[in-house]
Amino acid sequence: MKNKIIEVQNISVSILKEELDDYICITDIAKAKSGELRSADVIKNWLRNRNTLEFLGTWELIYNPDFKVVEFDLFKCGKKMEKRWKRDT
């Protein structure tokens, strides 16, 4: 596991590297957009966005053989909260 920081449009963004995968820190991006106190709200709003849910669902279908499609459909219909995403899908 290796960390590094890149600059994107004058914003420092942390990157975590694990084997062949890289993970960017969306919290760093949210903090730059709205400040540290409101960064959690920015991320919550992003997770409520229908396009974000569609992207996450497509990603899971491709890369997660245990993905629960029926549970995901309930998220798309707005019948489940985003906080339950990880537990239920």
3-state SS track over 27-49: HHHHHHHHCHHHHHHHHHHHHHC
What pLDDT does 89 receive? 55
Q: What are the residue ranges in the chain where pLDDT is below 70?
A: 1-2, 75, 77-89
- What pLDDT, on a 0 to 100 scale, did the predictor assign at position 84? 63
Predicted pLDDT at 88: 64
Q: What are phi and psi of 14, to 5 degrees?
A: -80, 145
Q: What's the CA gap between 41 and 34, in Å, rounded? A: 9
- pLDDT at position 65 is 92
Question: How far is Cα 52 from Cα 34, in angstroms, rounded to an integer?
Answer: 19
Amino acid 69: pLDDT: 87
Residue with tokens 């995901």: 72
